Chains A and B, each alone.
Chain A
Amino acid sequence: MEYFLEVSLVGLAVGGVYALIALGYVLVYKTTRVVNFAHGNIMMFGAYFFYTFAALLGLHWALAVVLTLVASAALGAGIERVVLRPLLGRPAISVVMVTVGLAAVLHGAAQMIWTPGDFFLPSIFPDAPIIIGEMFIPSNTGYGFLVALAAILIFLVLFRFTRSGVAMRATAADQVAASSMGVNVPAMFRLAWIYAALSAAIAGIVVGSITTLNPTMGLIGLSVLAVVILGGLDSIPGAILAGLIIGWLEALTGFYLGGAYKDVIPFVVLIVILMIRPYGLFGTPEIERL
C-alpha cells in the first residue's frame, strides 16, 4: 500500500502525456471525421526531428524545439494535402486504411532515415527528481506531465479565443453551415492536421525523454486509441480525463501484475468501453437518420 500513492502519481503523470497524444486524435476526428492511425508515428517523427536538431546538429534545445514544431507542422499539412485530400467523400473504410498505410510508410521511413537503433534524446529537464512528501517522481515523467498540461492548455485557449479556433469549431459542428458562413473548410482540415502534428511533436519529445527513442514508439499511439475511445472520440475534456485514467490503470497493472499486463490493459479497456458505451464518457452518441 505504501507504494500505491507513488505508483498512482507516476501513472497520472504519464496519463497527462497520453492526454496530449489523445488530443491530436480528437482534433483530427472532430474536424475531419478521420481516425488517424498514423498519429503515433507522426509523434515518433516529432521525436526524431528533435533528436536530429538537438543531438545530431547540436543546436540549443529551445531552437531545436521550435524547428521541430515547424517541421512537424509541415509534415501534418503535407499529409493532409497529399494523402487525405484526394479521399474526401470516400467511405470511412478507405480513409481508415489510408492512414494505416501512411503509418507503415512513416514507420519504414524512420528506420531508413535514422536506423532502427535506440537513441537518447538530449535532456531538457532538470536532473533532480521531484519529491512530494515521501513520494518520488522521476524527473522526466514529472516535468513531461507539466509540459503536456501546458501544451493542452495552450491548445484549449487557441480554440476558445482565436478566430481560426472558432472557425475550426464551427467546421466540427456543421461543415455545410460553416462553409456557407464563409469558413474555408479545407483550410480548417489542414489546420486541424497541423495542430495535431504540433501536439504530437510535443508529445513525442516528452515520450522520447521518458523512454528511449526508436521506431516502435509509434505503437504508443495504438494504446492511446483506448484513451480516445474512453473519453469519447470528439471530446477534448474526455480525452484529458481518460488519459489520466488509462495512465493510472497502466501504472497499477504494471506495478502489481507485470510489464506484459501493462501493455495489454488499454486494449482490454478499449473492448469493454466499446461494448458498454461505444461513444465514450463524454462523446456524442452517433444517431443515424435515414
Chain B
Amino acid sequence: MSIGNFKERYQSDEAIWRTPASRVWFGVLLLALAAFPFIGNSYHLFIACLIGINVISATGINILTGYTGLISLGHAAFMGVGAYSVAYLSNHLGLPFYVCLPLGGLLAAAVGLVVGIPSLRIKGLYLALATIAAQFILGFVFNEWESVTGGGRGVSLAPAEIAGLKLSTEFELYYLIVAIMIPMLLFARNLFRTRIGRAFIAVRDRDISAEVMGINLLHYKLMSFALSSFYAGVAGGLMAYFFKVVTPEQFSFGLSIFFLAAVVVGGMGTILGGIVGAIFMTLVPEVLDAIIHAFGPGAIALLSPAREIVFGLLIVGFLIFEPRGLAEIWRRIKRAYELWPFRN
C-alpha cells in the first residue's frame, strides 16, 4: 500500500515518471510491446498496427481539442494530407519513408496552420464549423486534384524500405509504427510540462485570462493546430504505408468524428485518455463484428449501422455520465487500489 509519495521538489512532482514503480512498469510495457508480434497472429498484429496509428492521431486531436480547447471536426482531412503527401513523395520523388513521414507531417502541419487562421477571429463553436468546412474542402481537393491524388480511385504506393529491407508485412510494420508512436507519445507527455503546453492549457481554461498573463493567443492556437496536424499527418502517412493505397473515402467526415469520439471516450486533456480512447474505439467495431457474426450471415448488413449507433451512444453516454472519460475511471481504480483498505 502506498498512501502517497513524498516529494521535495516541484521537478519531481512534474516528472514524466513520478515514482520508481512507474519506471519499472513502463519498462515492462516496452518489453511487452516488443514481444507482442511473436505471440499474436496476423489478425492481432493487423489490429495492433491500426491501434498504433489511431493512438498517434488521437493524441494529435487531444492536443488541439483536449488541451487547447479548440474543437476539431476535420482531423481526418489532416491525416489525408499526410497520407497523400507521403504517397506523392514516395512515388514521384522516390524518397525513403524516413524522409516522407516527417515531410508528410510537416505538410499536414502547414495545412493545419492555414485552417487555424480563422481562430484569429473566432473560437468555440464557430471554429468547429471552420474545421468542418476544412474537412469538406480538403475532401473535395482529394477527389478532384487527380494529377496528385488519383481522384476517386486513389493512389497506391510501394512498401516502406529501410537498408534494403522491405517493411511490407504486419510484423515489420508493427515495429515501425510502435517505434514512431512511443517517441511521439513521450513528446506529447513532455510538452505539457513546458511553457508551450502550459500555455495551451491556459488558453483552454480561460483564454482572456491567458491573454492578460501575456500569452499570445493566436500564436499558441496556431501552434496547437500545427502540432495536432503534424501528429495527424504522420498517422496518415503510416496509414498509407500500412494499407499501401490512399483513397478519399479513408479520410471521410466519419473518421473525424471517430477521433473526436476517441478522445471524448478516453478522456480529454490527458495523454492516457487519447491512448485508451483510441484502443477502445478501435476494438469496439471488432467486438461488434464478432457479436454480429455470431448472429449468422444474415446480420452482416447490420454491421455498419450498428457500429455508427454504438459510436454515437458512446459519445452521448460518456458526455452525460462520465465526462472525463475512461482515463478518469482508470484513475479512480488506481486510487482505490492505492488506498485500500481505506475508502477514498
Contact = CB atoms under 8 A, between A and B. Distances in A.
Q: Do A and B bind each other?
A: yes
B118 A87 contact: no
Interface stretch (A46-54, A88-96, A240-248): A88-96
A271 B132 CA distance: 9
Contacts of B264: 97
Interface in A86-116: 86-87, 90, 92-94, 96-98, 100-112, 115-116
Given A94-B323, A222-B132, A271-B134, A288 B208 contact: yes
A271 B137 contact: yes
B128 A96 contact: yes
A100 B239 CA distance: 25
Contacts of A98: 315-316, 319-320
B129 A268 contact: no
A263 interface: yes
Contacts of A278: 121-122, 126
Interface in B108-126: 117-118, 121-122, 124-126
Interface in A257-290: 260, 263-264, 267-268, 270-271, 274-275, 278, 288, 290
B62 interface: no
Q: Label chain B's interface by main secondary structure.
A: helix
Contact of B304 (A86, A111, A271, A290): A111
A271 B140 contact: no
Interface residues of B, number: 46
A191 interface: no
A35 interface: yes
Nearest to A267: B133
Interface stretch (B13-21, B65-73, B90-98): B65-73
Interface residues of A, number: 42
A115 to B, nearest CB: 8
A89 to B, nearest CB: 12
A229 interface: yes
A271 B118 contact: yes
Nearest to A107: B308
Contacts of A116: 305
Most buried by A among B134, B144, B306, B308: B308
B257 A100 contact: yes
A270 B133 contact: yes
Contacts of A260: 140, 143-144
B311 A109 contact: no
B125 A96 contact: yes
Contacts of B312: 101-108
A84 to B, nearest CB: 10
B300 interface: no
A226 to B, nearest CB: 8
B158 to A, nearest CB: 30
B276 interface: no
B117 A264 contact: no
Most buried by B among A96, A104, A268: A104
A274 B323 contact: no
Contacts of A92: 124-125
A225 interface: yes
B125 A35 contact: yes
Nearest to B124: A92
A275 B117 contact: yes
B71 A104 contact: no
Contacts of A109: 305, 309
Contacts of B302: 112
A83 interface: yes
Given A105-B308, A264-B140, A278-B126, A100 B260 contact: yes
Nearest to B137: A267
Given A101-B312, A275-B117, A225 B257 contact: no
B73 A100 contact: yes
Contact of B129 (A86, A103, A107, A270): A270
Contacts of A229: 126, 129
B257 A108 contact: no
B196 interface: no
Contacts of A87: 319-320
Given A97-B71, A108-B307, A274 B130 contact: yes
A101 B129 contact: no
Interface in B152-206: none
Contacts of A226: 133
A170 B132 CA distance: 32
A100 B309 CA distance: 12
Enumerate the 9 nearest inter-chain pairs by beta-carbon distance, A residue then B residue, closest first.
A101-B315, A108-B308, A104-B312, A105-B312, A108-B309, A111-B305, A267-B133, A108-B305, A264-B140
27 contacts: A87-B319, A90-B319, A92-B124, A93-B71, A94-B319, A97-B71, A97-B264, A97-B319, A98-B316, A98-B320, A100-B73, A101-B311, A105-B313, A107-B312, A108-B305, A108-B310, A110-B305, A111-B304, A115-B301, A229-B126, A260-B140, A260-B143, A263-B136, A267-B136, A270-B130, A271-B137, A274-B126
Interface of A: 35, 83, 86-87, 90, 92-94, 96-98, 100-112, 115-116, 222, 225-226, 229, 260, 263-264, 267-268, 270-271, 274-275, 278, 288, 290
Given A102-B312, A105-B313, A264-B136, 5 more contacts: A83-B316, A108-B310, A222-B136, A226-B133, A267-B136
